[in-house]
Structure 1
Amino acid sequence: MAAGRKRSCNDTLLGTKMSAEIKRCGGRSAGCGVAHEPAAAAAAAAAAPGEDACRAGGGRQVEPCRELAEAGRRGTKSNLAWCVYREGERDSWLLGCAARRRGGAGAGPALSTASRLGPDDNMLDIFRGLKSFVKISHIHIDSPVFRLHYSITVMILVAFSLIVTTRQYVGNPIDCIHTKDIPEDVLNTFCWIHSTYTIKSAFHKKVGVDVPHKGIDNSRGSQEDRKSYMYYQWVCFCLFFQAILFYTPRWLWKNWEGGKIHALIMDLDVGICSEVEKKQKKKLLLDYLWDNLRYHNWWAYRYYLCELLSLVNVVGQMFLMNRFFDGAFLTFGIDVLTFMESDQEDRWDPMIYIFPRMTKCTFHKYGVSGEIEKLDAVCILPLNVVNEKIYVFLWFWFLLLAFLTTLSLLFRVLIIMSPRIRVYLLRFRFRMVRRDAVDAIVVRSRMGDWFLLYMLGQNVDCLIFRDVMHELADRLKRSPVMLPDA
């Protein structure tokens, strides 16, 4: 009888449906505990953490887990009951209640299957993966503007690429109005692969009077008035390629930096440590700075080169997308703003011109007697509704990035040319350091040393950094050698 009840409880805990499992686990938790008392009960005193975890679930108490924990207190320490929680949720909620036997022959771990997530949760999980892809370390080895390029921008571009890919390959990216002579899938696939076109002059005609839709009109055999659209199947790949280009300067700097900042801070970013350990680490950092005081210029210049590459990349991508959209992207954002401010009767939508919703497609086939027949079709491109919003945002975002990066590079030029600005920056950024110490360090060191100290000051605890700067300044004052500035 006891064996039967024991097996029933284990089968219940291994069930795949969480609702049924919790009910059955809650209904028999005490019984299972009694059945296991002679050998190994459902949980032990160690089950209390499981109960605490249940209580920490954002105010949502789950009776089955609590009953199982109570049953564990009456048993031995061979089993453990706990609750499995879903990570990343603000209000933790119960996915399952499980019991694991730690003793006995043939015993093994048993964990209930998590409740199945819906399609919306699966989609959100895909975008949550972007967070780890561009995870920013707590150790900063670059400037905030530089981080905008390889973190925020890369995440945006990859997210847009996933959105377009989902819309492009899940569902119909194109739907063409066709005759019964051609199968629907054949015409749609043909027009998607071989591109579609619009009539340029039809964009300026009145819809419903002169033309049925913007860009749709009789071509009258004229090839010069046609505008072909061959880009839309390449948008998702282009966005992903742009993300790679934005991450390239970061990849270069990460390799050139070589983990120097991480190695030098030696966990000194947290000032809570023993005085002996703190004193030893400060001495190691000070000795490195003193021994290598003239050898950081090239290291700093390589970082400035990466910032320059970031500017070249964002400006180059504006021209790349202008080429991608047949010369219509450079003024795209300005045209959109002009369109929004124009009178509704006279305005002309530039987004429809670059990303048309309705296009034309020509399909040729053999007729009954062997003659070539020309079939005209009108196609709907619902994907362009998404594409136009993406590239309007990217136009303004790239413009902002180019502006901020240009200001950052001009600032770098001033830092290289003027030691006095370096002094002001150190004084302004690290107010706990004495002014005479800052003056002594900047005067007797080089630009690369200043850059290294500035990066260290952003990562090391402020009190520890103050002590290191003061001791370094004292050493420089006692040194008879004047290091040339560069």
Structure 2
Amino acid sequence: MFDVFGSVKGLLKIDAVCIDNNVFRLHYKASVVILVAFSLLVTSRQYIGDPIDCIVDEIPPDVMDTYCWISATYTVPNRLTGRVGIDIVQPGVASHVDGKDEVKYHKYYQWVCFALFFQAMLFYVPRYLWKTWEGGRIKMLVLDLNAPIVETKCKNERKGILVDYFLTNLHMQNFYAFRFFICEVLNFVNVVGQIFFMDYFLGGEFSTYGTDVLSFTEMDPEQREDPMARVFPKVTKCTFHKYGPSGSVQKFDGLCVLPVNIVNEKIYVFLWFWFVILSILSGISLVYRLCVIMAPRFRLYLLRAKCRIAPQKQIEIISDNCEIGDWFILYQLGKNIDALIFKEVISDIYKKMEGKETV
């Protein structure tokens, strides 16, 4: 297991300097790790064996397996319910009449690993954009002031550089902040868009997949239709055509067992809940961000919460003189700099704003 997922460990490293927030990290860290791990899992034969095994007379098993994997298998939707072994062979497996009975073909399983990896890359795009736009600014401003113990002379020099930069660029940081806000919007658009993408990928079944699975256990055992068997059937049918001795086309119906769907059905149940929760959290984050942009008083409260040990009057005066970009830079610094040092930075900024020299 560790050999398979060892390559994912690098994505879990904690950055020394934080340039985003917890909801943002759920997108580019947690979601990327989950999707890449699932992509590796569905391609790992040591855990699921052969992805497909088909049974049919007169056709070599390897040929039938390869053909059915490439050409797709099918089920009969109106035979999903019934007693297995009495009314039906397996859910969705039954004889049908061409042109009369509905037949549902399943081709998605060929693309699951690629789709999951593609989704992981999409989750990383806002992070990549923000890192590019951010350009390491916060890391350069922190200047190792995130350590609790810093040599006094070195600390004063670095504080002076930070304070001078902040005051020199006062009212010039709005574009920097709004680029981060754009990335937050992209996170929300991406996760909602991926829900629609997976719904299309699974033939319109994903949007209600999680709720269908939850309600399945409350139904009558003989009448209920297993949504996992409908979306991810473990046994399907496959029809192989070849020429007979006289040149006529012969048709061979086979049963196919899909062990890979045992994994797929669990993966997509988890992803349904994960994406719904992430969408809700991202929506709440956007509401929070809108409050930050529209309400200067709210920004003041947040800055006070970030530096409780600093005099409240100093924070209030600094906040009154800051635009949204200046506040954002200061708030980001407060998340990374040691609390005592950040208190001194606030004091130095206040004194210079008041026209006093820092001792």
TM-score (norm 1): 0.71
Identity %: 50
What are the equivalent positions in structure 2 for 1:30-429 lying under 5 Å apart?
123-167=1-45, 171-179=49-57, 181-222=58-99, 225-429=102-306
Identify the structure with bigger relative contact order (alpha carbons < 8 Å, sequence gap 6+).
2
Q: 1:281 to 1:223 in 2, by over 3 A?
A: farther
Give 3-state SS (helix, strand or coil) of 1:478's partner. coil
| Contact preservation (8 Å) 1:136, 1:151 | no
What are the equivalent positions in structure 2 for 1:15-34 lying under 5 Å apart?
none
Give 3-state SS (helix, strand or coil) of 2:54's partner. strand
Question: Structure 1 counterpart of 2:299, which letter?
Answer: R
Q: Determine the C-alpha separation between the residues in 2 that align with 1:202 and 1:125.
A: 41
Q: Determine the C-alpha separation between the residues in 2 that align with 1:299 and 1:409.
A: 17
| Contact preservation (8 Å) 2:83, 2:222 | no
| Gap runs ≥5 in structure 2 | none
Q: CA offset at residue 342 of structure 1?
A: 2.4
Q: Determine the C-alpha separation between the residues in 2 that align with 1:195 and 1:214.
A: 17
Q: CA offset at residue 144 of structure 1?
A: 0.4
Q: What is the number of equivalent residue pairs in this alignment? A: 356
Q: Determine the C-alpha separation between the residues in 2 that align with 1:188 and 1:169.
A: 19
Q: CA offset at residue 210 of structure 1?
A: 2.3
| Contact preservation (8 Å) 2:234, 2:262 | yes
TM-score (norm 2): 0.96
Q: 1:170 to 1:216 in 2, by over 3 A?
A: closer
Q: 2:314 aligns with which of 418, 423, 437?
A: 437
Q: Determine the C-alpha separation between the residues in 2 that align with 1:241 and 1:223.
A: 38
Q: Determine the C-alpha separation between the residues in 2 that align with 1:200 and 1:151.
A: 39
Q: Determine the C-alpha separation between the residues in 1 that align with 2:101 and 2:337.
A: 65
| Gap runs ≥5 in structure 1 | 1-122, 480-486
Q: Determine the C-alpha separation between the residues in 2 that align with 1:175 and 1:250.
A: 41
| Contact preservation (8 Å) 1:433, 1:466 | yes
Residues 402-442 of structure 1, C-alpha deviations (whole Å, 9 max, x = no match): 00010001000000000000111111222011111111111
Q: Which residue in the other structure is 1:466 paired with? A: 343
RMSD: 1.5
| Contact preservation (8 Å) 2:210, 2:269 | yes
Residues 55-99 of structure 1, C-alpha deviations (whole Å, 9 max, x = no match): xxxxxxxxxxxxxxxxxxxxxxxxxxxxxxxxxxxxxxxxxxxxx
Q: Determine the C-alpha separation between the residues in 1 that align with 2:133 and 2:2.
A: 35
Q: Determine the C-alpha separation between the residues in 2 that align with 1:170 and 1:395.
A: 22
Q: CA offset at residue 205 of structure 1?
A: 3.2
Q: Determine the C-alpha separation between the residues in 2 that align with 1:223 and 1:321.
A: 29
Question: Structure 2 counterpart of 1:124, which letter?
Answer: F
Query: Which runs of structure 1 show a deviation greater than 6 angstroms over 4 or more consecutive aligned residues?
Result: none
Q: Determine the C-alpha separation between the residues in 1 that align with 2:173 and 2:45.
A: 49
Worse-matched range after superposition: 186-195 or 210-219: 210-219
Q: Determine the C-alpha separation between the residues in 2 that align with 1:348 and 1:329.
A: 16
Q: Mark the structure with the bigger radius of gyration.
A: 1
| Contact preservation (8 Å) 2:147, 2:338 | yes
Q: Determine the C-alpha separation between the residues in 2 that align with 1:224 and 1:250.
A: 48
Give 3-state SS (helix, strand or coil) of 1:457's partner. helix
Q: Determine the C-alpha separation between the residues in 2 that align with 1:306 and 1:471.
A: 32
